[in-house]
A and B are shown apart, each in its own frame.
Chain A
C-alpha cells in the first residue's frame, strides 16, 4: 500500500518542502524568506552597532542609483536602462525588465547618516548603516552605596 514508488506526488512535494526548510535554517537561521512587496527585493542584517541592507540590482549603474536615509527610513531608488541591441533583429524572449524603481524600508535602528556606506559590486548593492550614537545601548554601572 505504501510502496514509495507509487506514493502520490504530495509526498515528493513534502520532501521538497522539508529539504528547503532545512536548507533555509542552515543558511540563514532564524530568518525566513518573505515576499518582496516591490522591486528591489532586499535582505536586512543587523547587530548592535548597525545594519546592512543588500539588494540585487544587475545592470544598474551606481550613477543611476539614489540612496537616502532619514532616521530609520532608507529609500533606494533608481533606474535600469535598456542596452539598445545592435542592428535590427527581434527578441525571442525578454525577461529582464527596464524602468524605474523606488523602495522605502524601515530599519531596525535609527541611522548615523554621515557614516552610511554603499558599495555596488557585480550587480549587488550593499549598504552599511551604522546605528545612531544616541540610540546605542548604554551600559549602566551600578555603584555600591
Chain B
C-alpha cells in the first residue's frame, strides 16, 4: 500500500503593496520538484489547468521563471455550493546555480504538469579546493 497524499492548500501570492495585477485573477505558487543529474537540471511543476499555449518559461541569467495562465471559469449555469480551492494563474522563480545551455532546453506540459529539462553547459568539472593550514 502506497502512502496517502496529504492535502496542501494552494499557496497564494499577494500583490505587492500599492500594486495591482493586470489580470484580475489570483496568483498561486505551483508545487515543484527540482532534480539534478551530472548533465542536466530537471524541473517538474504542478500547474493544473495549464496547457502548452498558456505556459511561459523564461531564463534570465540564472533566474528561471515559470508562469501559467488559467482561464477556467465556473461551470455555466451552476452556483457554487462548496468551494475548497481557488483557481488562478501560477508563477514561480528559481535561482539556478549552474550555467544552462539555453538552446537545448526542453519543455512539455502533460496532465497539468510542466516538465523542464535544462542541460548544463559543458562537462561538469568538479574541483576540490584544499585549505592549507596557515
Residues of A within 8 A of B (CB): 12, 16, 19, 23, 27-28, 30-47, 51-52, 54, 56-61, 79-80, 83, 85-102, 108, 120, 122-124, 126
Contacts and interface: CB of A to CB of B under 8 A. Distances in A.
Contacts of B99: none
Contact of B81 (A46, A80, A90, A126): A46
Nearest to A78: B5
B74 A45 contact: yes
A34 B84 CA distance: 5
Interface residues of B, number: 49
A122 B34 contact: no
Given A91-B35, A94-B33, A99 B3 contact: yes
Interface of B: 1-10, 14, 17, 26, 31-40, 42, 44-51, 72, 74-75, 77-86, 109, 111-113
23 contacts: A33-B86, A36-B84, A39-B5, A42-B82, A45-B79, A46-B78, A47-B79, A56-B112, A57-B48, A58-B46, A61-B111, A87-B39, A93-B34, A96-B33, A96-B44, A96-B113, A99-B3, A120-B111, A122-B111, A123-B46, A123-B50, A123-B113, A124-B49
Contacts of A58: 46-48, 111-113
A41 to B, nearest CB: 4
Nearest to B52: A122
Given A47-B79, A51-B81, A59-B113, 14 more contacts: A34-B84, A39-B6, A45-B78, A58-B46, A80-B5, A85-B35, A86-B40, A87-B37, A89-B38, A91-B33, A93-B32, A99-B3, A102-B4, A123-B49
A44 B81 contact: yes
Contacts of A101: 4-5
A17 to B, nearest CB: 10
A100 B3 CA distance: 6
Contacts of A31: 80-83
Contacts of A61: 111
Nearest to B9: A35
B78 A51 contact: yes
A96 B33 CA distance: 6
B78 A123 contact: no
